[in-house]
Amino acid sequence: MHFYGVFCAEIRMADIVLEPSQNVKLKTKSANLYYGGYHALRDVTFDIPQRAITAIIGPSGCGKSSLLRMFNRMNDLIPGARTEGDILLNGESIYHKGTDVVSLRKKVGMVFQKPNVFPMSIYDNITIGPRRHGIKGRAELDEIVEKSLSQVAMWNEVRDELRKPGLELSAGAQQRLCIARALAVEPDVILMDESCSALDPESTMKIEELMLELTDKYTIIIVTHNMEQARRVSDMSAFMMIDDDKVGILAEYSSTVEMFSNPKDKRTEDYITGRFG
């Protein structure tokens, strides 16, 4: 059963247990990120529970998106970027020398701020990932398309228009298509970088409802500037700040209910109440 509204996070927290350790999907251990000589993130350590929504919040420039990209090593694509510390997925280091980054990004998918629909049909948008991972049979691809679009509540809308260009969909439908494309390769984790910021309120509500439904199977990590969204959908919240050295740090991490009702750090309270940020 899924709940939507201001108190849905409080209701859902009854099902989220951080112990024992097998309920932890991702673990950061003194994670540091550098862009050349710039120290972007310092000593970030926290555990992200499986089949839950974790929100990363904080003021602009504190490293929220940089942290999100560490979970599938997207920062590797930036010249001069390097990391220290470690991040574990299902107990295994994703920064180990022998890590297959292509396989990692299959397990940890990403949905961006603006819908990045490919200039091809709805069908081909969904199947591009499975094809690249070796699935060629038409029947199997058809099944993946139906399953993925059903998971984002689009199958009945587009089942007769699968050859229609994905770019002809509305912005909200395009973002759901991007989520379906991520689901098509059956990831463990879905990263969402301000994925509702470019959408109207109705489309935002649909995406938020979808997030809640997907936690039956997936671990979701979102970056958001929308405090009400964080309250509505997330189980855990990580508050990022910039320290005196202009480096991004994790200032506070707790259940969303606890953070928004009884923050431990005065900076957290000031941010979530709108005093700064």
Q: pLDDT per residue over 201-257, tens digit each?
A: 999 999 999 999 999 999 999 999 999 999 999 999 999 999 999 999 999 999 999
The model's pLDDT over 59-118, given as tens digits with 9 standing for 90+, comes to: 999 999 999 999 999 999 999 999 999 999 999 999 998 999 999 999 999 999 889 999
Neighbours of 139 (CB within 10 A): 7
Split at pLDDT 50, 70, 90, the class of 37 is very high
Please report where in the chains the tokens 């108190």 appear, as a residue: 7
Q: What is the pTM of this model?
A: 0.90
Number of residues in the chain: 277
- Alpha-carbon distance values, 176 to 53, 156, 259, 273 (Å): 17, 13, 29, 31
Split at pLDDT 50, 70, 90, the class of 262 is very high
- Alpha-carbon distance values, 88 to 108, 211, 262 (Å): 12, 23, 29
pLDDT, residue 21, reads 43
Backbone φ and ψ for 15, nearest 5 degrees, come out as -95, -5
Please report where in the chains the tokens 């439904």 appear, as a residue: 213
Neighbours of 112 (CB within 10 A): 15
Q: How far apart are CA 73 and CA 48, in angstroms?
A: 17
Tell me the torsion sign for CA atoms 112, 155, 105, 2.
positive
Examine the pLDDT at 273 and tell me if it is beyond 80. Answer: yes
Lowest-pLDDT range of 17-26, 38-47, 201-210, 268-277: 17-26
Contacts of 207 (CB under 8 A, 6+ apart): 172, 175, 176, 179, 195, 196, 199
Contacts of 56 (CB under 8 A, 6+ apart): 64, 67, 68, 221, 222, 223, 224, 237, 238, 240
Q: How far apart are CA 13 and CA 10, in angstroms?
A: 5
Burial environment of residue 175 by CB neighbours within 10 A (0 to 12, 13 to 18, 19 or more)? buried
Cα of 47 vs its chain's centroid, Å? 15
Tell me the torsion sign for CA atoms 64, 203, 214, 236.
positive
Domains of the chain in start order, with CATH, are 8-272 (3.40.50.300)
Structure tokens belonging to residue 146: 């139906």
Q: How far apart are CA 260 and CA 93, in angstroms?
A: 32
